[in-house]
Chains A and B, each alone.
Chain A
Amino acid sequence: MDVLFRNVKELVERAESENKLISEIMIEQEIMITQRTREEIMAQMERNLTVMEEAVEKGLKGVQSVSGLTGGDAVLLQAYIDKGNTLSGPLMLDAVSKAVATNEVNAAMGTICATPTAGSAGVVPGTLFAVKNQLNPTREQMIRYLFTSGAFGFVVANNASISGAAGGCQAEVGSAAAMAAAAIVEMAGGSPQQSSEAFAITMKNMLGLVCDPVAGLVEVPCVKRNAMGASNAVVAADMALAGVTSRIPTDEVIGAMFEIGQSMPSALKETAKGGLAATPTGKWLESKIFGGSVVGSGR
């Protein structure tokens, strides 16, 4: 299959040599591969954007999962922001609360857009709708944010993994956060290279993150990992925009993520057998939700 880029290096080089945005390269590749028109592709991404907006709105009104493990934290965070005395700043907490809102809706079996997965669906929209208030993007720029995220996600999905069962949480929330960081940089007017640096800085700080969902539910710790993924993305974007660079090239960071995922034991890859899922409270919650014995891991 002919593609315009197979890795981040090629993506950045193409964008810089053609003096185009990363989002534009992604759109051009999508046109080339699917042979659909630009209008169709933009319209489909706008529908995804609308789904994301609706999920954030729903979550900010307050939802509760069937298990009762998650829900309501987005509301708490917004109320706290409104008091006007936050330590990490209103934009940061807004991103966090909107990431949480999306994942709370996901946990409650609401409608979301996977970015790149459902368990990590909060980070990209959470950061987008928070930086939106500061950068005042057009609707098209918001759609482009998703294409920029997608361009980096495309590389990770093909060269490493975006599956928690295959690569741990670093492959899901790690990828989502790094994708978001790259997209924030483009929206803020940074260069394609700076997007790549932001991606690498974020991903490096997500390496090794395991997938250990309590009771196998996409709730604990997933919702809060989306919160921290969003904050990681915002900080890394600021670092890259300030001119900070990654000593390890982005594609090598993605390679490291893949290798770490391969060597991660299966107990820590979405089997609910290790990590937080295997703590006394994790096991107790599991037995409370699904019944059965607390002893042993079988159901």
Chain B
Amino acid sequence: MKFKSVFDVIGPVMIGPSSSHTAGAARIGRVARDLFGRQPEWAKIHLYGSFAETYKGHSTDVAIIGGLLDYDTDDERIKTSFEEAERAGMTFDFIPETGHTEHPNTARVVIGDSQFEMSMMGISIGGGKIEITELNGFPLRLSGNHPAILVVHDDRSGCIANVANCLYRYDINIGHMEVSRRQKGEMALMVIEVDQTVDAVVMDELRQLPNITQVTRIAD
């Protein structure tokens, strides 16, 4: 079941005009920003399917930039996000693509600064609900049935054990886990589906672990 909460259906509270193309788009931008861990200096956003055809009308572009500025779906500043981005020193480009994707509302968000670059693929599945399907070329296979956390880390021994240990201490059970890396010793990613809610205290503790770059909650 992709929609778990009644508030996925009655909600979100948001700035119009479209839950999938505005609120969902803002959420895709915000998850990307969250994964990146700070304000990116530049963004290239590739839009596919219905996103590519109607992004101007739905303010999808404005909303994704709002998300990259860390605005929630009901933040009034979404309306002026282009100006806010300029003030924040972030440049951006939107590239409508003609290629076919599995889901009609797909965006690939490529963001970066002088030190780091990140690519994330997100889909907006209706009513403001989103899924992240790819991160830095790693396909993410999240069932969407459980809360999930993404851990970006350096490919070093002990990282996975430390994270699993920390979750164990808080009595959080791991239901499904995937680990992948680009190349030996480089950036790696853990995708962990759990049975319990991972609260802020646990998230902070995970962030303190050695060789962990970024920790983000995906589904809640």
Contacts and interface: CB of A to CB of B under 8 A. Distances in A.
Contact of B20 (A48, A110, A165): A165
Contact of B17 (A119, A158, A271, A290): A119
Give the interface size class of chain B.
35 or more
Interface string A144-177: 0011011101100110011111100001000000
Chain B interface, >50% SS class: mixed
A289 B59 CA distance: 13
Given A3-B1, A35-B197, A116-B126, A45 B19 contact: no
B10 interface: yes
A6 B79 CA distance: 38
B5 A117 contact: no
A113 B15 CA distance: 9
Contacts of A34: 4-5, 197
Contact of B3 (A48, A158, A269): A158
B141 interface: no
B213 interface: no
Interface of A: 1, 3, 6, 26, 29-30, 33-35, 41, 44-45, 47-48, 51, 105-119, 121, 124, 146-147, 149-151, 153-154, 157-158, 161-166, 171, 213, 215-219, 266, 269-273, 289-290, 299
A218 B6 contact: no
B6 A147 contact: yes
13 contacts: A29-B6, A45-B7, A48-B10, A108-B16, A113-B11, A114-B19, A150-B10, A157-B3, A163-B127, A165-B20, A165-B50, A217-B58, A266-B49
B16 A216 contact: no
Contacts of A111: 13-16, 74, 76
Contact of A116 (B53, B105, B127): B127
B9 A44 contact: no
Contacts of A289: 57
Contacts of A217: 17, 57-58
B54 interface: yes
Given A117-B18, A165-B105, A218-B17, A1 B146 contact: yes
A162 B104 contact: no
Contacts of B197: 34-35
Nearest to B20: A163
Interface of B: 1-23, 49-50, 53-59, 74, 76, 78-79, 96, 103-105, 124-128, 145-146, 197
Candidate in A45, A118, A149 with the most chain B CB atoms within 10 angstroms: A118
B12 A114 contact: yes
A257 B22 CA distance: 24
Given A1-B1, A109-B59, A111-B14, 5 more contacts: A45-B10, A115-B9, A118-B18, A119-B19, A157-B9
A255 B64 CA distance: 33
B21 to A, nearest CB: 8
Contact of B13 (A113, A116, A147, A164): A113
Nearest to A289: B57
Contacts of A110: 15-16
Nearest to A145: B10
Contacts of A109: 15-17, 59, 78-79
B104 A270 contact: yes
A183 to B, nearest CB: 10
A107 B54 contact: no
Which are the 8 A-B pairs with shortest beta-carbon distances? Answer: A216-B54, A163-B126, A216-B57, A106-B16, A153-B9, A218-B17, A150-B6, A157-B3
Contact of A290 (B3, B49, B56, B76): B56
Given A118-B23, A270-B50, A161 B126 contact: yes
A108 to B, nearest CB: 7
